[in-house]
Chains A and B, each alone.
Chain A
Amino acid sequence: MRLKTVLWAAITFAVLAYLIAPIAVLIYSAFDDGKFFRFPPRELSLRWFREALASPEYRSAVLNSTILATIASVLSVAFGLMAALGLTRGPLRSRPIVEILLLAPLTLPLVVWAIALMQIYARLGLSGSVGGLILAHTIITLPLSVRILMATLSNIDPNLEDAARSLGARPLRAFARTTLPLAMPGVLTSAAFCFLISFNDVVVTTFIAGASWMTFPVRMYSQLRGQGVDPITLAIGAMIVALILVIVALGEARFKWSRRL
């Protein structure tokens, strides 16, 4: 028994190490003093962290990305929840077909999406508008949130909601009190994925976004091809990772978040 526990832990930590090692490389390289991405770093310094904080371009780019990803992921999860409810509670017959149709967009590379959207937008005069950009991000994340939420909802017994309703609760209230709390892990998972995909999208945003909505990854990639990786982006990446870990650790310590998931 003892040995088995150790073995489990060993496998787990090996997988975790595999996931985290490349990120650790980046974070460590962010402390290099030079203008180029090098590992291991030659001379340690905080130069790029200082420059990242001082750069108005990067500040606004990270802010743009955050706002965009927040709105897009909220919209995507809201629509996704409605679609998933309809699909899991609706007639069973058509379900596999609709499920496949919903997965089909996920099998197209984003560059194909980007070009299609760009042409549609150009025709509608939506090019460069914020609304168009939010719409595009909602569209590319929607199939993902629907898929995750369907998996979640199919595990939840709809009779619970019916029971609540038969006890006199209004439909919306019945849903909010029974199904929604049970679906919370799925909602949070899909929100996290949608946020990350939207925050990091380059391909679609490059083609759709206007000049006043430069996002962080677009700025990063636009420099990559000519000049190589801007060490500022490494520093920003390191700060984002650190920030998330701190928030999670604090949340855990104060509110025991994970118990509620």
Chain B
Amino acid sequence: MSIWSQPTGSLIVDPTPTIKNYARIAGDGYYIRGLLRTLWLSLATTALAALLALPLSWWIVRRAGRFRGLILTLVLIPMVCGALLPTLGLMNLLGPLGVINGTLKSLGLIDRSWKLLGNQTGILIGLVHAFLPLMVLPLVSALDRLPRDVEGAAMSLGAKRLQVWRRIILPLSAPGLIAGSALVFCAALTSFVTPLLLGQGKVATFATMAYQQASLVLDWPFASALAMVMLAILALIGTAAWGAQKWAAET
């Protein structure tokens, strides 16, 4: 469908093959920049989510005890209400007169409001918030499989705490971490409501551009072409990473 087009003055798709849509994407940095920006945001979201999810999941597995079920549910709650409502709540907290800026100001830590909306910072905060559960749950089930005494055993053999994490816990939780990362990355890549609301229309991402074209301009062929270009970029990166890994393994 990405190689079709619409004649001027009509929205009915003309199925004569054309490279018009790809030429429009390639000939103009705007769309490519948007796609790359989305990639960067998704990678950053994945990294931040992993960073926050590791201690949280560890704590849930080892220390939460009887509150475990309750805390797991609390972790899931941001996903319970869909994307829209939590995002609206976040907007209120992050706004120039919101709780966060208010607290920082009254503590005398900052003079002027931090601009947390309408830029990538806001979107990042929102994306991590929205998709952290996707990282925590697979991690919890991976960490659950670790024998309870693995830490003690390693430490009794003289390992330091950091070493235990690096050598034992991280490798053993890798399947969960990888699954969680894949889910968070994909979710962030295609997230629509969060960048729309927290970016206040000033930050174009893959999904907001695709939505604008598909649902408002009603140019479906162009939206499809955009998606195809994104897939191609991902495939390229994936192949490169795979090749690099293979090369590293061989040398």
B93→A21 contact, CB < 8 A: yes
Give the residue of B80, B179, B206 whose beta carbon is less than 8 angstroms from that of A151. B179
Contact B80 A244 (CB under 8 A): yes
**Residue A107 at the chain B interface, CB threshold 8 Å:** yes
Are A15 and B55 interface neighbours, CB within 8 A?
Answer: yes
Tally of A interface residues using CB under 8 Å? 69
A16 lies within 8 A of B144 (CB): no
Binds B, one of A54-62, A158-166, A171-179, A189-197: A189-197
Q: Does A155 contact B (CB under 8 A)?
A: yes
B196-251 residues at the A interface, CB under 8 angstroms: 206-207, 210-211, 214-215, 220, 223-224, 227, 230-231, 234, 238, 242
User: In the docked arrangement, what's the CA distance between A148 and B135, Å?
Assistant: 11
* Cα–Cα, bound, A105→B134 (Å): 17
**Which chain A residue shows the least CB distance to B71?**
A16
The reply on A224 being an interface residue by CB < 8 A is: yes
Contacts of B138 in A (CB 8 A): 148, 151, 189
A11 to B242, CA, bound (A): 35
Q: Which residues of B contact A221 (CB under 8 A)?
A: 84
CA distance A148 to B5 in the complex (A): 38
**Cα A8 to Cα B61 with chains together (Å):** 13
Does B145 make an interface contact (CB < 8 A)? yes
Q: How far is the CB of B183 from chain A (nearest CB, A)?
A: 6
Q: Does B121 contact A (CB under 8 A)?
A: no
Chain B residue contacts of A148, Cβ below 8 A: 137-138, 179, 183
CB contacts under 8 Å to B, within A10-49, are: 11-12, 15-16, 18-26, 29, 37, 39
Contact present for B214 and A11 (CB under 8 Å): no
B47 at interface, CB cutoff 8 A: no
Most A Cβ at <10 Å: residue of B71, B81, B142:
B81
* Contact call A23/B81, Cβ cutoff below 8 A: yes
B residues less than 8 Å from A155 (CB atoms): 142, 145, 175
Of the candidates A9, A96, A103, A154, which one forms a contact with B186 in the assembled complex, judged by CB atoms under 8 Å apart?
A: A103
- Whether the pair A192, B76 counts as a contact (CB closer than 8 A) is yes
User: A98 → chain B, closest Cβ, in Å?
Assistant: 14
Q: Decide if A16 touches B75 in the complex (CB within 8 Å).
A: yes
A252 touches B66 (CB 8 A): yes
Chain B min CB distance to A94 (Å) = 14
- Contact flag A109-B211 (CB < 8 Å), given A8-B59, A9-B59, A12-B59: yes
Q: Given that A16-B56, A39-B92, A229-B88 are contacting pairs, would A248 and B175 also be in contact in the complex, using a CB cutoff of 8 Å?
A: no
